[in-house]
Structure 1
């Protein structure tokens, strides 16, 4: 059994436990009709160089691979359309990848436990083949090209490239057309095995839920993770920016401006920012 903790800085009571090496957090909301679940891997677009044996010999993977893997997780063995299945169960499901995480989530007013079971089954049952990976490349390439005409997105990437010299945070989360066409099914399998370990993930549940019931669902649908020996490469990024300004020429009626500041961050600073951003 887990324990309840008071998180005064967000004025919430949270239940914390660990089930088969997966950390589970539950925020009770008595009387709420809608419930939520989000399963997150500590794996983002910046994590392109890492070792899995605890050493410092890092293998580099193509930019955009975390986002690509997010797409493929929705493809289950047997060709089952997981979006249709969630809809049949009354849930809305989606996912996102950012620089530091990949998350899969759903919300529903009914059938919470069957939806939770489906979410866990989807994420922890990979289906990666050379054939379906090659098929996905064209889809993601079109997604990347679509954003080439988006001024806000183009401006953000240009600003990041002006700020950062070597850190992969400066790259597009989806990668480039060239980088995604260079990755293989084996690359995806290696990244999945490294980062989709329950020990490297958390599950957060919100709603009016039965604790014993969701603990049983997690226990039945999550296999204990192997010991985690994953080491992410740390980058010695210079304090100064690459350049002080950058201009992109696009056909716009109103010009866009982005102002960026490169500052040193501690782990505590990043945690506070993440927590504040998640509840804002």
Structure 2
């Protein structure tokens, strides 16, 4: 439906060959749910096939239908997309099947076998996350190579040129092919830490944030905590004097919890509301 044809045999052969040449750990399969024409019956079959392959990790990604950002998606028939209810059913089905097969839930939308290093790190509270996903390496720099690549070094993000001609022109002129960058300010760094703690460990210790950054957690995040009233009432988060914690029930909505701490998202949504724009800012969280 989205012109990405990859058969089960191709996938199985690739995983087999990877293991034969020594990739015995960390083999990952990306599973996208919410695709056009995707139905629970066929999705269930795909889940069984993935479980048969026994990859070390599975990342279950929600298909982001954002034609206002990605113009080529305008060719997709919106009526062929699963409804929000069906999309949620697909994810819950995937979660149930992977848990039944012995996988452990890792952060957001990820599953790993118990002996995988991500699962071990999650149990020990050592899980981290960078732009590319979950990792056991804390604060690792990531240098982007290739057109449009996005890198992160210290507290700065940068993106390479998106056009191949400009990318090679920069290299020919002996300069980095960077198109744009962003340097995080102090507030960005604090919020990044809080959001990563929630995404990785489903909890954030207030005292740790206060000691690490020299702020009073409850006072600094007064507005963010107020935005959590709805998810708190729904039982998705619990809060006391020591910590904010996502409940088992709320793990599916952990992105919504993190969004309360994202000042840029709040500012964009507020601006869009003032203009009464009909175009969404971002894709759905589930």
Q: TM-score, normalising length from structure 1?
A: 0.23
Q: In proportion to residue count, which structure has more helix? A: 2
Q: TM-score, normalising length from structure 2?
A: 0.23
